[in-house]
Amino acid sequence: MSSLNTWMFLGMTSLIYGHGMSQPQSAITNLAESLKISCTNDLVTDIIKTTSFENMKQNKKELSKIFDPEGKGLIFRKGQVGDWKNWFTDAQNEIFDKQFENEMNDSNLEFKFS
């Protein structure tokens, strides 16, 4: 049973940024299935285009009206999987990796950090 199927069995669906970036059609289709929403291929393609990092970055003002009505500011960095780890020192990365391995050892979830 894949990690997504395990979560769906428990009544939950996991959304992992890296999966959405590398396999957007599959991620959207799985999400729609878990929400019991039918999606045509054209709708999935439209969702992929609309929610692409570049499109959202270009339409930041429009998105701010929806997601940031108080005007605190939306931040768009690079839109790359695992970029957050670049903010860690080598020592912090080692600590994180060890802690992650200890905490997630029994999990069947798969994470991609780069």
> What is the rounded distance in angstroms from the CA atom of residue 110 to the CA atom of residue 22?
13
Q: Which phi and psi (to 5°) does residue 57 adopt?
A: -65, -40
Place of tokens 């790359």: 80
More confident residue, 81 or 59: 59
Asked whether the beta carbons of 47 and 28 are under 8 A apart, the reply is yes
Can you give the pLDDT at residue 1?
38
pTM, two decimal places = 0.55
Can you give the pLDDT at residue 42?
96
Compute CA distances 3 → 16, 32, 84, whole Å: 11, 17, 23
Compute CA distances 60 → 18, 77, 79, whole Å: 22, 12, 14
Cβ neighbourhood burial of 66 (10 Å; 0-12, 13-18, 19+): exposed
Nearest Cα neighbor of 81 from 103, 32, 114 is 114
Compute CA distances 50 → 17, 107, 109, 114, whole Å: 16, 32, 27, 24
Of 32-36, 41-45, 82-86, 108-112, give the range with the top mean pLDDT: 41-45
pLDDT at 41 over 60: yes
